[in-house]
Amino acid sequence: MRRPPPFSPQTVGRTKQGDSALKWEANYWRAQHARLGEREAALKSAGATLQATIRALTQRLYGTKSEQASGADGTTSPQVDSTKNRGQQPGSKGHGRRERCALQVVAAVYDGSEEAQHCPTCGEAFVPLPGTETSARIEVAGQAYIRRIQRQRYRKGCACPQVAGIITAPPVPRLRPKSPFGGLVWTQVLRDTYLSGRPTHRVCEAWNQHGRPLAQGTRTDGLPKMAALCEPLMPLGRERPRGEKLFHGDETRWQGCEAVAGHPG
């Protein structure tokens, strides 16, 4: 018997029941394919969301941080490109220069040279006019000075034995006995340490640059002794916040002097 050529049309017989079973299987696999497609799309969306979350957390943990660019939730807001110049914009109303009436005014008189006070052609001297051309300039004089205290002395003019022969005015109270530094120096040390939070070596270096030499040991030894002088103010410092309706809840640490084993300073 001769075989038909390959891929030639052939007649296959099947029953109605077999035809229904094939159609049912085809519809079943089509439904399964659609469900798998939906599941794949959902997994891709969830994967993209997780990748975005990982990038955001990585940026918050290892990226550059700026308090101005951070939102209330701690996330970094995207930088907005702007061609606007920084500072006051042209055409806007400014606030003008600040009034500094509380500063002490020190007069400084300047005059021209002897040659500039005569006419360059005939040599006749110029006639001075009343008043001056006035301008102001803010300066800072941070140099230290020595306050030389001179106590007046008296000699008694009577013969009373209860009175000493020479009477001297009482000494000026010192913040620290036998210390060459006055109260203004220790006030500045306290402000630099607890208000500005400047380290010890920076405080000493700044004072040396302004002609106010201050040894590191003097400052370190003087701060605990200043604490004893502030003890009477502690009850007042506690009573004032208790009278307020709200309390400050900042957890920022406050630097202080405490005895630690192995650290004499």
Query: Is the pLDDT confidence value at 20 over 60?
Result: yes
pLDDT over 70 (residue 245): yes
Say if residue 43's pLDDT is above 90.
yes
CA 18 vs. chain centroid, Å, equals 84
The 10s digit of each residue's pLDDT in 148-183 is 888 888 887 778 888 788 888 888 888 887 788 888
Instruction: Compute the C-alpha angle 250/251/254, nearest 5°.
Output: 105
**pTM summary value:** 0.45
**Residue 198 and residue 188 in contact, taking contact as beta carbons nearer than 8 Å:** no
Per-residue confidence (pLDDT) for residue 72, from 0 to 100: 46
Cβ atoms 56, 75 nearer than 8 A = yes
